[in-house]
Amino acid sequence: MTERVEAVVIGAGVVGLACARALARAGKEVIVLERHDAFGTEISARNSEVIHAGIYYPTASLKARLCAAGRKQLYEFCAQYGVSHRRCGKLIVATSAGQEERLADIRRRAEANGVDDLRSLTAAEARALEPELRCTGALLSPSTGIVDSHGLMLALLGDAEQRGAVLALRSPVLSASARDEGIQLVVGGESSISLAADIVVNAAGLSAPMVARSIAGFPTQHAPSAYFAKGNYFSLFGKAPFSHLIYPVPEPGGLGVHLTLDLNGQARFGPDVEWVDEISYEVSAERGERFYGEVRKYWPGLADGKLQPAYAGVRPKIAGPGAGDADFVIQGPREHGVAGLVNLFGIESPGLTSCLAIGDMACHLLS
SS (H, E, C) 335-360: HHCCCCEEEEECCCCCHHHHHHHHHH
pLDDT at 272 over 80: yes
Q: What pLDDT, on the 0 to 100 scale, is given for residue 180?
A: 85
Give the pLDDT confidence score for residue 242 in this predicted structure.
Answer: 97
Domain with CATH 3.50.50.60 in the chain: 2-47+150-225+325-366
Distance in angstroms between the alpha carbons of the first and the last residue of the chain: 29
Over residues 15-35, the pLDDT tens digits come to: 999 999 999 999 999 999 999
CA distance 184 to 202: 13
Residues 99 and 6: their CA atoms lie apart, in Å, by 53
Over residues 329-353, the mean pLDDT reads 97
Is residue 215 within 8 A of residue 229, CB to CB? The reply is no
pLDDT confidence band for 185 (50 / 70 / 90):
very high
Question: Within the chain, which residue ranges are assigned CATH 3.30.9.10?
Answer: 90-142+227-317
Confidence (pLDDT) at 254: 65
Which SS3 state, helix, strand or coil, does residue 54 take?
coil
Residue 342, pLDDT > 90, answer yes
d(CA 354, CA 56) in angstroms, rounded, equals 14
So what's the pLDDT on residue 363?
A: 95
Q: Can you list the alpha helix ranges (DSSP code H) found in the chain?
A: 14-25, 62-81, 100-112, 123-129, 149-162, 208-213, 289-295, 333-336, 351-366
Give yes or no for residue 6 having a pLDDT over 70.
Answer: yes
Among the four given CATH numbers 3.30.9.10, 3.40.50.2300, 3.30.70.3000, 3.20.20.100, the one describing domain 90-142+227-317: 3.30.9.10
Cis preceding-peptide flag for 252 (omega within 30 of 0): no
Mean model confidence pLDDT for the chain = 95
Q: What is the DSSP letter of 278?
A: S
Q: Give the pLDDT confidence score for residue 250 in this predicted structure.
A: 86
**Is 70 exceeded by the pLDDT of residue 317?**
yes
pLDDT given at position 324: 83
Residue-wise pLDDT for 196-235, tens only, equals: 999 999 999 999 999 999 999 999 999 999 999 999 999 9
CA atoms within 13 A on the CB side of 167: 26
Q: How confident is the model at residue 252 (pLDDT cuts 50, 70, 90)?
A: low
Rounded Cα gap, residues 42 and 308, in angstroms? 22
Q: Answer yes or no: CATH 3.50.50.60 is held by domain 2-47+150-225+325-366.
A: yes
Looking at the predicted structure, is the pLDDT value of residue 353 above 80? yes
Q: Average pLDDT for residues 327-344, to the nearest whole number?
A: 97
Residues 260, 267: contact at Cβ < 8 Å?
yes
> What tens digit of pLDDT does each residue of 108-159 get?
999 999 999 999 999 999 999 999 999 999 999 999 999 999 999 999 999 9
How far apart, in whole angstroms, are the C-alpha atoms of residue 103 and residue 361?
A: 32
| pLDDT at position 3 over 70 | yes
In the structure, what pLDDT confidence band is assigned to residue 281 with cuts at 50, 70 and 90?
very high
Look at residue 237 in the predicted model and tell me its pLDDT: 94
pLDDT computed for residue 256 by the predictor: 83
User: What is the DSSP pairing of strand 267-276 with strand 227-236?
Assistant: antiparallel
Report the distance separating Cα 205 and Cα 128, nearest Å. 41
pLDDT higher than 90, residue 253: no
For residue 46, the model assigns a pLDDT of 95
Q: Per-residue pLDDT for 255 more than 90?
A: no
pTM for the structure as a whole: 0.96
Question: With bands split at pLDDT 50, 70 and 90, how would you rate the model's confidence at 191?
Answer: confident
Q: What's the one-letter identity of residue 200?
A: V
Distance from C-alpha of 90 to C-alpha of 243, rounded to nearest angstrom: 9
